[in-house]
């Protein structure tokens, strides 16, 4: 593949997106409401589908026309092929995805209530077997890419190593700190952008040695920038996103939609954001696409299967 990192990316000549992250099989349960501690509630239905934040973001980007590779781990078990099925269907390059014979494929148990809100328990399985040495083995993949996308479902030392490698290679490092893991402050300061929700943003600010008591969302974003993070995107669900980077500070509204299932909506946002950045769009412009893709995803059940394809009509703000 031709190296595009030394020329300005455009829609016609986008950069490659390398996603390094998790692959899970999602076990989704529909419930009338989420149980309280110690309580049993009846479920309405159950289903199994591909998931994992890394895989979700790769599928979201590929369905929008991105040139995407995924580096990930699955187990050598019967669920691995199902977990990878939609990645294959949308043409994600799985050259750097492998099976660990000692581990099971990651599992996420997702409960979705009647309002579409979810709660999730993740068993990492093979996702937890990544090492710093494995990260070093991605030098070739990184060298072919212009945007590196990572999340918090692989070990923190691996994220630290990847952040350093991206900076050394001149590759843009999109870090979605979800879930929040104990990465080094330098990794947060390498993120361009750091993508976090309201809760994650405050934990990231504490990790950088800053307090956040009583501070509103916009001030948290500004504080993260002040602490050395090059650019920040704070996702706020139906309220859209706050975007801050060099010369850019904006509130990006989200379309109004009826949510059936919010599972994977944040990953749809990140995948779309990566596509916009790989096409050379500014952070605000890419975020405006991302909120529309995230809103489209909540209108259907499940994660990857709900993501829109390129050319599909998206909800308007």
Q: Are strands 241-245 and 232-235 parallel, antiparallel or unpaired?
A: antiparallel
Which tens digits make up the pLDDT trace of 233-268?
999 998 999 999 999 999 999 999 888 878 789 999
Per-residue pLDDT of 187-242, as tens digits, reads 999 999 999 999 999 999 999 999 866 679 999 999 999 999 999 999 999 899 99
Domain total of the chain: 1
The domain in which residue 274 lies consists of 17-23+53-105+130-306
In a domain, 28, yes or no: no
| pLDDT score at 7 | 54
Q: Is residue 145 part of a domain?
A: yes
Residues 6+ apart with CB under 8 A from 313: none
Residue 3 counted as domain residue: no
Does 118 map to a domain?
Answer: no
Assess if residue 30 is contained within a domain.
no
Q: Can you list the alpha helix ranges (DSSP code H) found in 170-264?
A: 185-190, 198-207, 217-226
Nearest Cα neighbor of 110 from 184, 56, 187, 166 is 56
The model's pLDDT over 52-102, given as tens digits with 9 standing for 90+, comes to: 999 999 999 999 999 999 999 999 999 999 999 999 999 999 999 999 999
Catalytic residues: 267
pLDDT 10s digits, 59-73: 999 999 999 999 999
Residue 1 pLDDT: 40
Report if residue 251 sits inside a domain: yes
- In this structure, is residue 235 part of a structural domain? yes
pLDDT one-digit tens code per residue, 142-162: 999 999 999 999 999 999 999
Does position 4 have pLDDT exceeding 60, yes or no?
Answer: no
Dump pLDDT digits (tens) for 100-126.
999 999 998 988 888 888 888 889 999
Residue 48 lies in a domain: no
- Using CB atoms within 10 Å of the CB of residue 76, give its burial: 0 to 12 exposed, 13 to 18 middle, 19+ buried: middle
Q: What is the CATH number of the domain that holds 298?
A: 3.40.1190.20
């Amino acid at each position: 593949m031709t190296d595009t990192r030394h020329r300005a990316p455009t829609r016609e000549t986008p950069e490659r997106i390398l996603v390094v992250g998790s692959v899970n099989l999602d076990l989704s349960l529909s419930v009338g409401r989420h149980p309280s501690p110690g309580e049993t509630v009846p479920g309405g239905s159950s289903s199994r589908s591909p998931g994992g934040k890394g895989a979700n973001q790769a599928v979201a980007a590929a369905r929008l026309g991105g040139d995407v590779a995924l580096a990930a781990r699955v187990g050598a078990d019967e669920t691995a092929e199902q977990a990878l099925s939609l990645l294959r269907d949308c043409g994600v390059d799985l050259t750097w995805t492998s099976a660990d014979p000692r581990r099971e494929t990651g599992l996420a148990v997702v409960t979705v209530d009647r309002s579409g809100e979810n709660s999730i328990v993740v068993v990492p399985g093979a996702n937890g077997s990544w090492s710093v040495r494995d990260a070093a083995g991605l030098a070739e993949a990184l060298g072919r890419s212009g945007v590196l996308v990572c999340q918090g479902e692989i070990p923190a030392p691996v994220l630290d190593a990847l952040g350093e490698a991206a900076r050394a290679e001149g590759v843009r490092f999109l870090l979605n700190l979800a879930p929040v893991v104990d990465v080094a402050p330098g990794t947060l300061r390498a993120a361009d952008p750091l993508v976090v929700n309201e809760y994650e943003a405050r934990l990231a600010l504490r990790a950088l040695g800053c307090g956040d008591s009583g501070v509103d969302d916009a001030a948290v974003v500004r504080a993260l920038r002040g602490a050395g993070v090059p650019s920040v995107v704070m996702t706020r669900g139906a309220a859209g996103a706050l975007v801050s980077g060099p010369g850019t500070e904006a509130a990006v509204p989200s379309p109004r939609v009826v949510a059936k299932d919010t599972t994977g909506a944040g990953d749809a946002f990140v995948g779309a954001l990566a596509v916009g950045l790989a096409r050379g769009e500014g952070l605000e412009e890419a975020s405006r696409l991302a909120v529309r893709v995230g809103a489209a995803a909540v209108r259907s059940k499940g994660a990857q299967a709900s993501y829109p394809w390129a050319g599909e009509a998206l909800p308007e703000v």
